[in-house]
Amino acid sequence: MNRRAGLRVAVLLAPALLVVVGLFGAGLGLGLLQSLGYQPYLEGWSWTTAAYTGLIDDRAVRASLVLTLRTSVLATAGAAILGLAVAMLVHSSRRGRRLLTAVLQVGLPVPHLVGALSMSLMLSQSGLLSRLTYAIGLTTSPSDFPALTEDRFGWAMLAEYLWKETPFVAVVALTALARGVAPLQDVAATLGASPWQRFRYVVLPLVTPAVGAASVVVLAFTFGSYEVPAVLGRPYPAPLSVVAYQRFTDTDLTVRPQAFALGVVLAVAVTALVAVYLRLLDRLGATR
Amino acid sequence: MSVRLYGPALLAAALVLLSACSAASTGAPATQSASVPATAQGAASDGPDPSRWSDVLAEAKGQTVNWYMWGGDEGLNDYVNDWVSPKAAELGVTVRQVRIADTVDAVNKILGETQAGRTSDGSVDLVWVNGENFATGRQADLWACGWPSRLPSARYVDLADPAIANDFGRPVEDCEAAWNTTTSALVYDAARLDAADVVSLAAFQQWVQAHPGRFTYPAAPDFTGSMVVRTFAYDEAGGYQRLQGPFDQARYDALAPRLWGRLNELGPSLWREGDTYPASQDAVAKLFADGEIDAYFTYGVGGLGTQVQQGRLPATTRTAVFSGGSIGNANFLAIPRNSPNAAGAMVLADLLQSPAAQYEKKVNPPGYDPAIDTTKAGDFAARFAAIPVPAAELPASVLAEAVVPEMQAGWVTRLEKDWVSEVQQR
């Protein structure tokens, strides 16, 4: 590749890069500044790491960390496994594959907020399901129905993430499967490979990069997602994003650096998680 | 795709970016002085002078007023768009209602813009505000002062009334114009609770403990949830008088253990056994409408009758106030210093304070109580007196008798913070 072509690529990419690096990088940098106490609208502000050290023994943050990690990891693993299973099912069905693929794609453009509201209408103690169990005499009052929204575990949140992200992973996996996995499987079968062996040594290595990339997106998203826990979760314990927003909207302006500190922590944690996840995937793909 | 990864962080960061970037480039931070003390200084500030009202009217012609307000009340939104807007249009002012989920969003916007050096062309012209958000704005010197007392409609307002002259115990100092008054009350289903259950907070608490799972309140610092905590605080302290004045550590220390003990004892009898609290007042009102709970506290009972009529609430919905224990406050309209349409905002505020507007707001769905002294309202005095009271609501005279003032922001913030650590996180 010659120099001019390289320059051309750089020039063509510049507007996009400028937006990404400018908006994102500068935003992150300014967030960092504010997390360190930069509050020019307050008299007597000073540089301090108090916002960060305060997070360590903040009960809301500790509880939040556990909840955030648990929900996002479960949602990611669940969506990856279910998505792959669905993709293989659709791929192996000779008839109706196109229709099934289309059905999978229907949910993709639906915003998470809409998904969360739907889950709330369906799963809350006075929701559709609860009314159904009441109508057929299984429950006699809303509180008889199990608490799936605003619950300690976060069932409705998990359900929303799985409902939304499973088709996403499945569609990505289907694309990978479509690149000639069938002949390879046939070859393996004629060589005497069992169904499990065919899955483990033929299908899995083929789809791992695609499913891995998709689940990185899912992990990063669910870790930082705000609207889903805001609708379906509790005010305490709440995921980091919700806690950050609670601090950002605190009427006491001196609390604000904590919100930005949480934002920075969130960004660092997501980056670290993604790195660990990719490392794990590499290992999975490498052992043949 | 990468944009959605860091949702809230990016949102926050982008906001900061918008604000801080240009502040840095102009070199001169917009506001360094945090507190401007009194009325006199505010009155001397630039901007339109309401004592020369015809000039203000002339300047306002053709202006569009961006009015930031909590948009959670459909009845009020209809009032703004169907009644206020046409009236304002007659004066040449276009009203653009900007609905927000929380008033703090508007304060954040003004703060961000001011910080960015937009000292005269901000995008917010009028804000519906009170309490802590007003205090936050004062903390950062965001509000234009000295105008409300000079509005023509100010003659209908009893500016000496402590409920109007103070906003959560903080002197208004002529930096915001009164718009509504509101009294807290207990909304309950008379099919489930007797009148005897709602005569006092103690009686009600007994009912709650005898009927587990049928009552709850929003998690503080929610506006209403915070009021419920304060209602218990007044009761536990033996009257509102004990918690007036600036925050007092000794008095607080004497009260706090008893208050948190009482609320924690109540916990297991609440909705979801007090294991969690709804995040907002909207969620609580929905629980009541869905039949999950039988009673809840609210600010402002106006509009309940309409909701019963529409079939959204049970026909047996009633309200109660506890004698000498119903917290009430006023809420206000503030103009940011950096509003480019201050004249239009003043004309709109004046219109909103007029007896006709206050009457309409009371009788039609919003049902918000007037901020003006209705006896001073001329032709409207008799009409105010003749407003029928639906069975679900209480007459203004009963509310007025039960109302007690808010405590100062120092108490409020402390109670909210400690409720979180002593009750919610237990």
Q: Quick one: average pLDDT of A5-31?
A: 86
Tell me if B9 and A267 make a contact (CB, 8 A cut-off).
yes
Judge whether residue B276 has pLDDT over 50: yes
The identity of residue B40, as a single letter, is: A
Q: How confident is the model over A242-267, as a mean pLDDT?
A: 90
Shortest CA distance from B271: residue in chain A: A143
Q: Average of pLDDT values for B200-222?
A: 95
Chain B residue numbers touching A143 (CB-CB < 8 A) = 213, 271, 292
**Is residue B141 pLDDT above 60, yes or no?**
yes
Distance from CA of A15 to the nearest CA of B (A): 16
Residue A121's pLDDT is: 94
Q: What pLDDT does residue B346 have?
A: 97
Contacts of A34 in chain B (CB under 8 A): 16, 20
- Whether pLDDT at B275 is above 80: yes
B43 in contact with A at a CB cutoff of 8 Å? no
Residue with more model confidence, A167 or B40: A167
How large is the average pLDDT for residues A105-132?
Answer: 92
**C-beta of residue B106 within 8 angstroms of C-beta of residue B124:** yes
Mutation target vs A (from B1, B3, B5, B111; most A CBs, 10 A cutoff): B5
Confidence of residue B9 (pLDDT cuts 50, 70, 90): very low
Instruction: Tell me, yes or no, whether A185 and A87 share the same domain.
Output: yes
Query: Are residues A31 and B1, on separate chains, in Cβ contact within 8 Å?
Result: no
Last residue of some domain: A10, A31, A48?
A: A48
* Owning domain of residue A196: 54-283
Residue A202 lies in a domain: yes
Contacts of B219 in chain A (CB under 8 A): 235-236
Residue A97 has a pLDDT of: 81
Residues whose CB is less than 8 angstroms from the CB of residue A37 and which lie 6 or more positions away in sequence, other chains included: A45, A46, A47, A48, A50, A51, A257
Mean pLDDT confidence for A152-156: 92
Question: Does residue A222 share a domain with residue A160?
Answer: yes
Strands B295-299 and B177-189, how do they pair? antiparallel
* Portion 17-36 of B in contact with A at CB < 8 A: 17, 20-21, 23, 29, 31-35
Picking from A15, A33, A48, the residue at the C-terminal end of a domain is A48
Chain B positions touching A275 (Cβ under 8 A) are none
**Residues found in chain A:** 288
List B residues 114-133 in contact with A (Cβ-Cβ < 8 A).
114-115, 131-133
Kindly state whether B54 is in contact with chain A, defined as any CB-CB distance less than 8 angstroms. Answer: no
Using a CB-CB cut-off of 8 Å, the residues of chain B touching A37 are none
> Residue B111 and residue A41: Cβ atoms within 8 Å?
yes
> Chain B interface, mutation test: which of A19, A35, A41, most B Cβ atoms within 10 Å?
A41
Write down the pLDDT at residue B46.
57
Cβ–Cβ gap B1/A59 under 8 Å: no
Percent of chain B predicted with pLDDT > 70: 88
A-contacting residues of B 94-113, CB under 8 Å? 102, 104-105, 108, 111
State the average pLDDT over residues A64-75.
Answer: 94
Q: Are residues A99 and A232 in the same domain?
A: yes
Q: Is the pLDDT of residue B2 over 60?
A: no
In a shared domain, residues A85 and A202: yes
Q: Considering the domain boundaries, does residue A182 fall inside one?
A: yes
Per-residue 3-state assignment (H helix, E strand, C coil) for chain B: CHHHCCHHHHHHHHHHHHHHHHHHHHCCCCCCCCCCCCHHHHHCCCCCCCCCHHHHHHHHCCCEEEEEEECCCHHHHHHHHHHHHHHHHHCCCEEEEEEECCHHHHHHHHHHHHHCCCCCCCCCCEEEECHHHHHHHHHCCCECCCCHHHCHHHHHCCCCCHHHHEECCEECCCCCEEEEEEEEEEEEECCCCCHHHHCCHHHHHHHHHHCCCCECCCCCCCHHHHHHHHHHHHHHHCCHHHHCCCCCHHHHHHHHHHHHHHHHHHHHHCHHHHCCCCCCHHHHHHHHHCCCCCEEEEECCCCHHHHHHCCCCCCCEEEECCCCCEEEEEEEEECECCCCCHHHHHHHHHHHHCHHHHHHHHHCCCCCEECCCHHHCCHHHHHHHCCCCCCCCCCHHHHHHHEECCCCHHHHHHHHHHHHHHHHCC
| Residue A157 resides in a domain | yes
A26 against B229, higher pLDDT: B229
3-state secondary structure labels for all residues of chain A? CCHHHHHHHHHHHHHHHHHHHHHHHHHHHHHHHHHCCCCCCCCCCCCCCHHHHHHHCCHHHHHHHHHHHHHHHHHHHHHHHHHHHHHHHHHHCCCCHHHHHHHHHHCCCCCHHHHHHHHHHHHCCCCHHHHHHHHCCCCCCHHHCCCCCCCCCCHHHHHHHHHHHHHHHHHHHHHHHCCCHHHHHHHHHHCCCCHHHHHHHHHHHHHHHHHHHHHHHHHHHHHHCCHHHHHHCCCCCCCHHHHHHHHHCCCCHHHHHHHHHHHHHHHHHHHHHHHHHHHHHHHHHHCC
Kindly calculate the radius of gyration of chain A based on its CA atoms and give it in whole angstroms.
23
Nearest to A225 among B7, B132, B424 (CB): B7
A232 and A110, same structural domain?
yes
Are A10 and A66 in a shared domain? no
Which residues 289-318 of B have a C-beta within 8 angstroms of A? 290-292
pLDDT single digits (tens) B230-252: 999 999 999 999 998 889 999 99
Q: Decide if A288 is inside a domain.
A: no
Candidate from B5, B13, B421 with C-beta closest to A31? B13
> How large is the average pLDDT for residues A58-67?
92
When pLDDT is averaged across residues B257-285 and rounded to a whole number, the result is 94
Q: Which segment, A173-187, B205-219, B295-309, B381-395, is predicted with the most confidence on average?
A: B205-219
Residues B3-20: what's their mean pLDDT? 39
Residue B280 and residue B217: Cα distance in Å, rounded?
9
Bigger pLDDT: B45 vs B84: B84
* Amino acid sitting at position B11: L
Model confidence band, residue B34 (pLDDT cutoffs 50, 70, 90):
very low
Q: If you search the block for the tokens 């007042």, which residue do you land on? A: B281
Domain presence at residue A206: yes
Q: Decide if B172 contacts B165 (C-beta within 8 A).
A: yes
Check CB contact under 8 Å for A236 and B425. yes
Compute the distance between CA of residue B146 and CA of residue B40 in angstroms, rounded to an integer.
7
Task: State the best of B4, B16, B102 to mutate against chain A, taking most chain A CBs within 10 Å.
Answer: B16
| CATH number of the domain residue A278 falls in | 1.10.3720.10
Do A95 and A192 belong together in one domain? yes
Per residue in A85-117, pLDDT (tens digit) is 999 888 888 777 888 888 888 888 999 999 999
pLDDT at B393 over 80: yes
Position A194 pLDDT exceeds 90: no
In a shared domain, residues A185 and A241: yes
pLDDT of residue B424: 93
- Report for A176-190, A249-263, B286-300: range of highest mean pLDDT: B286-300
Please indicate whether, in this complex, the C-beta atoms of B13 and A30 are within 8 angstroms of each other. yes
pLDDT in tens, B346-361: 999 999 999 999 999 9
Report CB contact under 8 Å: A235, B114.
Answer: no
Determine, for residues A249 and B102 on separate chains, whether the beta-carbon distance falls below 8 Å: yes
Selecting from A147, A224, A235 the residue whose C-beta is nearest the C-beta of B219 gives A235
Whether chain A has a CB inside 8 Å of the CB on B37: the answer is no
State yes or no: pLDDT of B45 exceeds 60: no
Mean pLDDT of A224-241: 93
The model carries a pTM of 0.80
pLDDT in tens, A267-276: 998 888 888 8
Residue B29 has pLDDT above 70, yes or no: no
- The whole-number pLDDT of residue A78 equals 97
pLDDT for the residue numbered B5 = 37
Q: Which position has the higher pLDDT, B42 or A187?
A: A187
Task: Kindly tell me if the per-residue pLDDT of B10 is higher than 60.
Answer: no
> Binning pLDDT at 50, 70 and 90, where does residue A160 land?
very high
Question: In this predicted structure, what is the pLDDT of residue A2?
Answer: 66
What is the average pLDDT score of chain B? Answer: 86
Reported confidence tier of residue B324, pLDDT bands at 50, 70, 90: low
Q: Do A27 and B136 touch (CB under 8 A)?
A: no
Picking from B142, B144, B410, B127, the residue whose alpha carbon sits closest to that of residue A42 is B142
Answer whether A143 sits within 8 Å of B292, measured CB to CB: yes
In chain A, the number of structural domains is: 2
Are the beta carbons of A20 and B2 separated by less than 8 Å?
A: yes
pLDDT digits (tens, 9 = 90+) for B369-385: 899 988 888 889 999 88
pLDDT at residue A285, as a whole number? 62
* Contact in structure between B144 and B339 (CB atoms under 8 Å): yes
Among B1, B17, B114, beta carbon nearest to A30: B17
Give the pLDDT score at A46. Answer: 87
Shared domain for A261 and A139, answered yes or no, is yes
- CA distances for A132 relative to A123, A124, A129, B283, angstroms: 11, 12, 5, 22
pLDDT given for residue B28 in this prediction = 33
Mean pLDDT of the region B286-303: 91
CB contact under 8 A, A226 and B425: no
**Record: contact A59-B421, CB cut-off 8 A:** yes
Can you tell me the mean pLDDT for B154-166? 89
Using the structure block, give the residue that is written with the tokens 């934002």.
Answer: A263
Q: Do A30 and B7 touch (CB under 8 A)?
A: no
Q: Residues B39-53: what's their mean pLDDT? A: 64
By DSSP bridging, strand B295-299 and strand B170-171 are: unpaired
Pair (A78, A221) in one structural domain = yes
- Average pLDDT on B303-322 reads 91
Cβ B213–A143 below 8 Å, yes or no? yes
Same domain assignment for residues A122 and A252: yes
Closest approach of chain A CAs to the CA of B292, in angstroms?
A: 6
Are B16 and A27 a contacting pair at CB < 8 A? Answer: yes
Instruction: Give per-residue pLDDT as tens, B185-198.
Output: 999 999 999 999 99
Label the pairing between strands B166-167 and B317-320. Answer: unpaired
Task: Tell which B residues from 211 to 270 touch A, by Cβ distance under 8 Å.
Answer: 213, 219, 221
Question: Contacts of residue A226 in chain B, CB cutoff 8 Å?
Answer: 7-8
Co-location of A156 and A243 in the same domain:
yes
Does any domain span residue A103? yes
Instruction: Give B169 or B39, the one with higher predicted confidence.
Output: B169
Which among A230, A235, A270 is the nearest to B277, CB-wise?
A235
Residue A43 C-alpha, separation from nearest chain B C-alpha, in angstroms: 6
